[in-house]
Amino acid sequence: MPDNTGEMVPATIPELGRWLAANAKGDRRPVLPVGGRTSLGFGMPADPASVEVATSRLDRVVDYPARDMTVTVEAGCRVSAIQEALKMEGQRLPVDVPLAHRATIGGAVASDAGGPRRFGFGTLRDYVIGIRCATVDGRLFKAGGRVVKNVAGYDLCKLMVGSGGSLAFVTEVTLKLKPLPTSSAMGWACFDSGDTVSDLLGDLSTSRARPVAIELLGPKAARQLTAESRQALPVGPLLLGVAVEGNPVEVEWQVDVLDRELRAGGATDVTWARDADTKKLWSSLTDYQLGGESPVSIRACLRPSRTVDFVVAAIDAGVAVQAHAGNGVIHGHLPDDTIDATTAEEIIGPLRELAAKSGGQLVVERCESGWHDALSIWGPPRGDWPLMTSVKRQFDPDGLLSPGRGIEAAMQQLSDDGMDQQ
C-alpha cells in the first residue's frame, strides 16, 4: 500500500505487479514511476493526484557473469553502485549518468541519461540488451535477453530507453559491458572565435587520435565547471575539451597528437589533466546538464557540424552552454534574470528555429513551475509523433502512467487546440 506520503515502495517485482493490477481494477489512480528523482523535472509536470511508485527497494544485482561481460540488475540499483561492482572486475558501463550516486539504472534508462562519453561509446540504447517491465495494469513482461546478440522478438529495450516511464514500469535491465580503461586524459583548449573551433572540429573528425568525448563550453559554463571541478582550466571565449582513454601507451600517444592538433588549430592555451585529476571533471561535465538553479534548461540536438553556430548563438543570447560537440547534443541554461516565460520564449524561439534548420530540434528540459503552459516544451510536432501516441495508447489506453508528461500529452494538447488536422 502507499505509505502516508502517498508513495508506494514495493519490496519485490511481483508485489509491484499486484499493486499495479489492483490499482488498475480499483482506484485507477495515476502512477508515476520514481527512481532517484534526478530527472523528474523533465517534460511536463506530473499529475498531482499521482501515486509515486518508487524502485528504491528493487536494488538487487540479479546476475553478474563478469566473464560474459553482461550484468542484470533491478531497476532501483544506483548507477554508481553498479559501476563500483563492475570496477572490481575491470569493467564498466561507459555511459555517463548525471548524479550517479542518486540516479537509478531504471531512471537512467527511462530518461535516456547520457553525457560526454556518448561520442566514444554511444548511449544506453546501445547497452540495454534485455529488459523486464510491468505494464500499468500489472502484467510483467520482458524483451531481449542476457546475451549480447539477440534478434528474437521486437526490441522493446529500445522502446523503453527514453520512454520517460510513460509506457511501462521498468523493473530490471540487462546491460552489455565494456572493459575499464586503465588510463585517461582530458585536454582543455581556449579559442577566440567560433570559426576557428569549427574548423578544428572538422579536422578532429579525421585525427589519428580517437577521442571518447569532445566538449565545447561557453564562458559561463566554463567558469561553473572550473569552480565545480576545482581544476585550473584555461579562460577564454570558447573552451574545448577532448578526452582520451585506453592503456597508458595509447593515452600518451593521443595526448601528443591532440596537443599538436589543438595548438595548430588556433588554441590560445592548452592544458591536460590525467587519470585521477580527470575524475571530478568527468562528473562535473556529466552533471552540468541538470542546470542547478537556472530557471529554464534546454536541450538541442542537431547535425554535429552545426554545433558551433548554435553554441555561439546561444552564448550571444546569454545562455550558459555545454555541447557534446562530436554528437551535436547541446545543453543550455537560461540566465537567472529570465524573469518570466515570455522572456524565456524570446530566447528559446530563435534557438529552436536554428536547431530545426540544422536538422534537429530543441526541447525544454526543465523550467520554473507555472511556465510549462506558456513555453512549448517539446516544440513543433514531428511526423512520427502520431505513431508515438498510438504506441502509448497500446500500452496505457487510459493514460494512467506518468500522465500528461510526454509527447503524447503534447499531441493531445494539439488536438484539443484543434490544431491537429491529421
Partner 1 sequence: MASTQPAPDGTVPVATELLIRFRRLLGDDGVLAAEDELIVYECDGYVVEKKAPDVVLFPTTTEQVSEIVRTCNEFDVPFVPRGAGTSLAGGCLPVGGGVMISLTRMKSILEVNLQDRYAVVQPGLVNLHLTRHLAGTGFHYAPDPSSQGACTIGGNVATNSGGPHTLKYGVTVNHVLGLEVVMPDGQVVEFGGVAEGLAGYDLVGLFVGSEGTFGICTQVTVRLTRDPDAYRTLLGIFETVGDATQAISQIIAAGIVPAALEMMDQGIIEAVEAAYGFGFPLDAAAVVLIEVDGLEVAVDDEAERIIRLCQEQGAREVRRAETEQQRALLWKCRKQAFGAIGRLSPSYCTQDGVVPRTKLPEILEFITDAGERHGVRIVNVFHAGDGNIHPILLFDERDEEQIARVFRASDEILGKCIDLGGSVTGEHGIGVEKLEFMERLFTEDDLDVMASVRMAFNPRGSCSPGKMLPTAGACGMEHIERSHPGKQAAS
From 49, 88, 148, 264, residue interacting with partner 1 (rule: CB under 8 A): 148
302 is a contact residue toward partner 1 (CB under 8 A): yes
The stretches of 125-247 forming alpha helices (DSSP H) are 156-160, 194-204, 219-229
Q: Restricting to residues 73-102, which ones interact with partner 1 according to CB under 8 A?
A: 90-91
Residue 413 corresponds to which cell in the numbers above? 494538447
Helix, strand and coil content of the chain, in percent to the nearest 5, comes to 35, 25, 40
For the bound state, the minimum distance from the C-beta of residue 279 to partner 1, rounded and expressed in Å, comes to: 21
The span of 5-13, 186-194, 212-220, 356-364 binding partner 1 (CB under 8 A) equals 356-364
The span of 28-36, 199-207, 232-240, 290-298 binding partner 1 (CB under 8 A) equals 199-207
Burial classification of residue 25, based on how many CB atoms lie within 10 Å of its CB (0-12 exposed, 13-18 middle, 19 or more buried): exposed
Angle ∠(302,44,389) on CA atoms, nearest 5: 75
* Binding-residue pattern over the window 230 to 269 for partner 1, x denoting contact by CB under 8 A: ----------------xx-xx--xx---------------
From 329, 348, 351, 400, residue interacting with partner 1 (rule: CB under 8 A): 329
421 is a contact residue toward partner 1 (CB under 8 A): no
For the bound state, the minimum distance from the C-beta of residue 241 to partner 1, rounded and expressed in Å, comes to: 19
- Using the minimum distance from each CB to partner 1, give the nearer residue, 58 or 329: 329
123 is a contact residue toward partner 1 (CB under 8 A): yes
For the bound state, the minimum distance from the C-beta of residue 56 to partner 1, rounded and expressed in Å, comes to: 25
Q: How far apart are CA 95 and CA 76, in angstroms?
A: 17
Question: Residues 185, 278: contact at Cβ < 8 Å?
Answer: yes
Q: How far apart are CA 319 and CA 220, in angstroms?
A: 8
Q: How far apart are CA 396 and CA 403, in angstroms?
A: 10
33 is a contact residue toward partner 1 (CB under 8 A): no
321 is a contact residue toward partner 1 (CB under 8 A): no
From 12, 193, 205, 342, residue interacting with partner 1 (rule: CB under 8 A): 205
Q: Restricting to residues 359-398, which ones interact with partner 1 according to CB under 8 A?
A: 359-361, 363, 378, 382-385, 387-388, 390-391, 393-395
Strand 320-324 with 238-246, pairing: unpaired
From 6, 28, 49, 65, residue interacting with partner 1 (rule: CB under 8 A): 65
From 147, 232, 339, 374, residue interacting with partner 1 (rule: CB under 8 A): 147
Question: Residues 340, 287: contact at Cβ < 8 Å?
Answer: no
14 is a contact residue toward partner 1 (CB under 8 A): no
For the bound state, the minimum distance from the C-beta of residue 336 to partner 1, rounded and expressed in Å, comes to: 25
Q: How far apart are CA 340 and CA 78, in angstroms?
A: 36
Q: Which of 93, 66, 90 is nearest to 77 (CA)?
A: 93
For the bound state, the minimum distance from the C-beta of residue 14 to partner 1, rounded and expressed in Å, comes to: 13
The stretches of 298-365 forming alpha helices (DSSP H) are 307-316, 341-357
Question: Residues 271, 240: contact at Cβ < 8 Å?
Answer: no
6 is a contact residue toward partner 1 (CB under 8 A): no
The span of 1-9, 25-33, 202-210, 260-268 binding partner 1 (CB under 8 A) equals 202-210
